[in-house]
């Protein structure tokens, strides 16, 4: 007969138990009609069955002191594959009462059931077979088709509403035993088939409604994202439109100014032409009266006409030159502003690079501290191992002494037997009894010797393992020494980068100072141009009294002229002073418009 694979039989049994537990949990929950809590027996049995399914074929992971076999490793891997599972993993790690990995795995299963995403999490896990092979054997339930079937069955649990208290429950010490009495059929189960059909229809409707709700939520989120993007683009277009309108208004104002200047020039030229026409007519009348100097007058009029036309051409050329100079000044101002912004951007970028270098230095310093702590721990472990090897050597010496004593006792017993045979030949019966006793003692000594040899062999094996661990720790210490050397190299590179960064900061500070000086000069030029546009100073003869105190100007009361409003004040009334970065001394400011005052000589002062 063909022998069945025991692992296949185990997988089939676990799959059938999972089907029964999931089916029983759904039916009992719908008949129960309320949210389930942690004391509900079918729910407890479901978690026990899931724990057995996840433990099937799990590899034994070796740790330093013991062997570890837990399902927390593959479940912890879910948060890397499914980003929404990070919240569950973080909350499980933060629970205060959990001390073992198995307790964390049980809490994770309960939280996943409450979120109704256990099927999604396990589906992401079974898809990654190459990652699961690190935790499970090739014949495990999660590596075969039965795992996919169980994940499909878990989708039906989305109809259950569970409210489980994980914080106060003792999940570390629970015993996972399956209660098969819950899954035995009874008369009530046979009579409730129609009810099960109705429950299945209700479940299908609920699943359809939940799936429709998920699709609607995804469409709503996508529409919200599109609305946000459209609002952002609309605001950008409105800003660009406002900027374009401002530019159009500025260009219209400049065009209007140029047209007004052009009309003034045309009016002047027409006036000159009219004057010349009047002169020509008068000369023609005089020519009619007297024809003597006709040629001379005609040539002179022609020459004057040419001069006037040349003057008109020169005026138009000067107008074109002034317009081009104005455009060039505006372009130079824009280029200066652009250069300033670019240099500010370079300053920001260099500062960001400096911050990144500082962050890298802090990370390297933290890594060095971590490696030093690990080195200290490993040195302590090496010391403990050395003490343990010394103890093992001492015990081996004691065993050897005991072995030598046993051999001596055996030799003494043999000598005594030979002496007894020679001396007491006649007393055969008594000798046989004593000989049988000695044989029993010899057998006991041989068994003790065998036990001691086996103990010695086990101690030698433990000593060999300890030597291997010591060699492994020596290799790790060598790696730590290499890491220290790399860290020293990185520190040297960091110092060089700090020097380069300091040099760049000094250069940037110089550039910033020069740029600030140039910007201040440009602002001073702008203020001077604004102040000089359309302002006319009063004559010294007309300005005889101060505008505020109405006192006459003298040697002690000097004149100060406002470049903006054109008012004249004395030095006693214009006491407001303002420091400027472009001038070493503070300047006086107008009381009415707060513009810079310019000192003028009074009429009676040279």
- Distance separating the N- and C-terminal Cα atoms of the chain: 135
CATH number where 64 lies: 1.20.58.900
Q: Tell me how far apart the alpha carbons of residues 352 and 354 are, in angstroms, rounded to a whole number.
A: 5
Find where tokens 């008949």 sit.
31
Under DSSP, the state recorded for 275 is: H
Which residue, 138, 154, 182, sits at the end of a domain?
Answer: 182
Residue 61's pLDDT band (cuts 50, 70, 90)? low
Find where tokens 């799959």 sit.
15
What is the helix (H) or strand (E) element at residue 588, kind and residue range? strand 587-588
State mean pLDDT over 560-581.
61
Residue 196's pLDDT band (cuts 50, 70, 90)? low
Residue with more model confidence, 354 or 602? 354
Q: Tell me how far apart the alpha carbons of residues 204 and 89 are, in angstroms, rounded to a whole number.
A: 31
Please tell me the predicted confidence (pLDDT) of residue 193: 58
Instruction: Name the nearest CA neighbour of 579 among 570, 571, 589.
Output: 589
443, part of any domain: no
Residue with more model confidence, 583 or 27? 27
Q: Helix (H, G, I), strand (E, B), or coil: what is residue 349? A: helix
Find where tokens 């013991």 sit.
66
Q: Quickly count: other Cβ atoms within 10 Å of residue 171's Cβ.
A: 21
Are the CB atoms for 46 and 22 separated by under 8 Å? Answer: yes
Please tell me the predicted confidence (pLDDT) of residue 532: 58
Lowest-confidence segment of 113-122, 181-190, 359-368, 520-529 by average pLDDT: 181-190
Which residue, 117, 151, 182, sits at the end of a domain?
Answer: 182
Residue 73's pLDDT band (cuts 50, 70, 90)? confident
pLDDT tens digits for range 501-553: 888 888 888 888 888 888 888 888 877 777 656 555 566 667 777 877 877 77
pLDDT tens digits for range 240-289: 999 999 999 999 998 898 989 889 999 988 888 888 888 888 877 886 77
Mean pLDDT of the residues in the chain: 80
137, part of any domain: yes
Question: For the chain, what is the domain count?
Answer: 2
Burial-class residue 295 by CB neighbours within 10 Å (0-12, 13-18, 19+): exposed
Most confident of 227-231, 345-349, 451-455: 227-231
Please tell me the predicted confidence (pLDDT) of residue 130: 87
Residue 152 has which token pair? 């499909």
What is the helix (H) or strand (E) element at residue 570, kind and residue range? strand 568-570
Residue 292's pLDDT band (cuts 50, 70, 90)? low
Integer CA distances (angstroms), 574 to 540, 580, 581, in order? 18, 17, 21
Please tell me the predicted confidence (pLDDT) of residue 604: 37
450, part of any domain: no
338, part of any domain: no
Q: What is the pTM of this model?
A: 0.35
pLDDT tens digits for range 453-466: 888 888 888 888 88
pLDDT tens digits for range 311-342: 888 888 888 888 888 888 888 888 888 888 88
Residue 594: beta bridge partners?
none
Indicate whether 163 pLDDT > 60.
yes
569, part of any domain: yes
Burial-class residue 514 by CB neighbours within 10 Å (0-12, 13-18, 19+): exposed
Count Cα atoms within 13 angstroms, Cβ side, for 375: 14
448, part of any domain: no
Please tell me the predicted confidence (pLDDT) of residue 243: 92
Q: Tell me how far apart the alpha carbons of residues 273 and 261 are, in angstroms, rounded to a whole number.
A: 18
Please tell me the predicted confidence (pLDDT) of residue 602: 39
Q: Which domain, by its residues, includes 589?
A: 546-605
Q: Tell me how far apart the alpha carbons of residues 559 and 598 are, in angstroms, rounded to a whole number.
A: 8
116, part of any domain: yes
Q: How many residues does the chain have?
A: 606
CA 44 to chain centre: 40
Indicate whether 65 pLDDT > 80.
no
Burial-class residue 42 by CB neighbours within 10 Å (0-12, 13-18, 19+): buried
Q: Tell me how far apart the alpha carbons of residues 548 and 567 are, in angstroms, rounded to a whole number.
A: 10
Long-range own/partner contacts, residues 524-528 (CB < 8 A, 24 or more apart): 524/582, 527/596, 528/563
State mean pLDDT over 163-175.
79
State mean pLDDT over 79-90.
87
Instruction: Name the nearest CA neighbour of 316 among 365, 276, 262, 273.
Output: 262
Residue 603's pLDDT band (cuts 50, 70, 90)? very low
Indicate whether 79 pLDDT > 70.
yes
292, part of any domain: no
Which residue, 117, 150, 182, sits at the end of a domain?
Answer: 182
Count Cα atoms within 13 angstroms, Cβ side, for 529: 8
State mean pLDDT over 140-166.
87
State mean pLDDT over 378-391.
84
Residue 444's pLDDT band (cuts 50, 70, 90)? confident
Please tell me the predicted confidence (pLDDT) of residue 354: 85
Are the CB atoms for 413 and 434 separated by under 8 Å? Answer: no
Find where tokens 């003692």 sit.
441
Indicate whether 183 pLDDT > 80.
no
State mean pLDDT over 578-587.
52
State mean pLDDT over 57-86.
76
């Amino acid at each position: 007969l063909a022998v069945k694979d025991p692992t296949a039989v185990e997988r089939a049994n676990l799959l059938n138990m999972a089907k029964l537990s999931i089916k029983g949990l759904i039916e009992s929950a719908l008949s129960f009609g309320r949210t389930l809590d942690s004391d509900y027996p079918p729910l407890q049995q479901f978690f026990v069955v899931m724990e057995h399914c996840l433990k099937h074929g799990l590899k034994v992971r070796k740790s330093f002191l013991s062997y570890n076999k837990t399902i927390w490793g593959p479940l912890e891997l879910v948060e890397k594959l499914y980003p929404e599972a990070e919240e569950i993993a973080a909350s499980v790690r933060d629970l205060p009462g959990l001390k073992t990995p198995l307790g964390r795995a049980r809490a994770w299963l309960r939280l996943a059931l409450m979120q109704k995403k256990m099927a999604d999490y396990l589906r992401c896990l079974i898809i990654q077979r190459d990652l699961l092979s690190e935790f499970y054997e090739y014949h495990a339930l999660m590596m075969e088709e039965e795992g996919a079937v169980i994940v499909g069955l878990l989708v039906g649990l989305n109809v259950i509403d569970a409210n489980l208290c994980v914080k106060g429950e003792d999940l570390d010490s629970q015993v996972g035993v399956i209660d098969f009495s819950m899954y035995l059929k009874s008369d009530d189960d046979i009579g409730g088939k129609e009810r099960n059909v109705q429950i299945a229809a209700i479940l299908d409707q609920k699943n359809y409604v939940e799936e429709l709700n998920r699709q609607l939520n995804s469409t709503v989120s996508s529409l919200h994202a599109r609305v946000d993007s459209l609002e952002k683009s609309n605001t950008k277009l409105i800003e660009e439109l406002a900027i374009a309108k401002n530019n159009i208004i500025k260009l219209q104002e400049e065009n209007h100014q140029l047209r007004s200047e052009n009309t003034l020039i045309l009016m002047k030229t027409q006036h000159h032409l009219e004057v010349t026409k009047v002169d020509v007519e008068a000369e023609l009348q005089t020519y009619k009266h007297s024809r003597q100097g006709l040629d001379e007058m005609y040539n002179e009029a022609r020459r004057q006409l040419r001069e006037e036309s040349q003057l008109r051409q020169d005026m138009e050329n000067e107008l074109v030159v002034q317009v081009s100079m104005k455009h060039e000044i505006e372009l130079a101002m824009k280029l200066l502003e652009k250069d300033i912004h670019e240099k500010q951007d370079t300053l920001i970028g260099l500062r960001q690079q400096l911050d990144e270098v500082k962050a890298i230095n802090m990370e390297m310093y933290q890594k060095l501290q971590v490696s030093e702590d690990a080195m200290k721990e490993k040195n302590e472990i090496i010391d403990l191992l050395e003490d343990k090897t010394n103890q093992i050597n001492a015990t081996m010496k004691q065993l050897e002494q005991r072995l030598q004593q046993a051999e001596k006792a055996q030799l003494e017993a043999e000598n005594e037997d030979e002496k007894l045979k020679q001396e007491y030949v006649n007393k055969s019966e008594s000798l046989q009894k004593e000989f049988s006793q000695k044989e029993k003692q010899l057998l006991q000594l041989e068994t003790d010797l065998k036990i001691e040899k086996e103990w010695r062999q086990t101690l030698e094996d433990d000593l060999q393992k300890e030597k291997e661990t010591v060699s492994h720790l020596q290799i790790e210490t060598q790696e730590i020494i290499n890491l220290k050397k790399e860290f020293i190299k990185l520190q040297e590179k960091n110092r060089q980068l700090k020097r380069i960064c300091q040099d760049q900061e000094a250069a940037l500070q110089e550039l910033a100072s020069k740029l600030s000086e140039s910007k201040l000069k440009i602002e001073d030029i702008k203020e001077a141009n604004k102040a000089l546009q359309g302002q006319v100073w009063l004559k010294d003869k007309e300005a005889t009294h101060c505008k505020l105190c109405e006192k006459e100007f003298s040697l002690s009361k000097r004149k100060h002229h406002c470049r903006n409003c054109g008012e004249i004040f004395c030095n006693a009334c214009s006491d407001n002073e303002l420091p400027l970065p472009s001038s070493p001394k503070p300047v006086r400011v107008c009381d009415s418009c707060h513009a810079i005052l310019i000192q003028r000589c009074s009429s009676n002062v040279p």
